[in-house]
Structure 1
Amino acid sequence: MSVTAIGTYDFPMKDVRENFPAPLLYIGWEDHLMFCAPFCLPLPPDTPFGALSAAVLPGIYGYHPDFAQIDWDKAEWKKNGQPWQPDPAKSLADNGLVHKDAIRFRSPGLTGIKGSFS
């Protein structure tokens, strides 16, 4: 829904990078409806991208029965809605991720609990 302001609509943004301990990164797992929306995490820009699958994502998605079956070499990624291929050896910043970017991953062959999304 669009908004039409009847006066000046000028105020300082509250969600700028400087107001958070680290840049925010939205991370979502496609085809898994147990999670209704992407998680929003403050992650230091020098975090290696490969650390997401090894150290970060198990803490938020690990209790899903499909998580342990993910083949990270075959994961399909999107950044801000566009197909994207991250380099796991590079940092989040070196992969071009900035404050409030959204990434989503799809795990081929895994479509929800017992294939419930297929």
Structure 2
Amino acid sequence: MAVTAIGKYEFAPKDPVEKFPAPLLFVGWEDHLMFCAPFAVPFPPTLKFGDMCRGAFPGIFGAHPEFAQIDWEKAEWFKSGQPWQPDPEKSLAENGLGHKDVIRFRTPGLTGFKGSCS
């Protein structure tokens, strides 16, 4: 919805990075409706991207029956809706990720519980 203001619409954000233990990263798994929206997770910018997938994602997405079947080499990544290829050996910051960025991944061949998103 568009907003028309009668004056300048400038204000300090209420959720700057300084208010969190680490920058927030929003992470979502495409085609898996068990998770209706991306998760907001505070990750240190020095965390390697691959360590995030191997270390944190089991606790976030592991309840899904297809999680154990993910082939991370074939995962398709999106940053702010655009195709994106992260380097698993680089940190989140080195991959260009910052506070409140949104990333999503798609897992070819896995289309939700019992193919619910196929």
TM-score bracket, shorter-length normalisation: over 0.9
The answer to whether residue 97 in structure 2 is matched with residue 97 in structure 1 is: yes
Partner amino acid, structure 2, of 1:108: P
Aligned residues with identical type, % of pairs: 69
- Secondary structure at the residue paired with 2:68? helix
2:67 is matched with 67
Tell me how far apart the structure 1 counterparts of residues 95 and 61 of structure 2 sit (CA, whole Å): 22
Query: Where does 1:1-118 land on structure 2 (aligned, <5 Å)?
Result: 1-118=1-118
Distance of aligned partners of 1:82 and 1:8 in 2 relative to their CA distance in 1, 3 Å threshold = closer
Partner amino acid, structure 1, of 2:78: K
Measured against aligned partners, the alpha-carbon deviations of 1:29-79 in whole angstroms (never above 9, x if no partner) come to 000011110000010000010012211111010010000000000000001
TM-score calculated relative to the size of structure 1: 0.94
TM-score calculated relative to the size of structure 2: 0.94
Tell me how far apart the structure 2 counterparts of residues 46 and 89 of structure 1 sit (CA, whole Å): 11
- Stretches (4+) displaced over 6 A: none
Partner amino acid, structure 2, of 1:92: L
The count of residues paired between Structure 1 and Structure 2 equals: 118
Structure 2: gaps spanning 5 or more residues: none
Tell me how far apart the structure 2 counterparts of residues 62 and 72 of structure 1 sit (CA, whole Å): 14
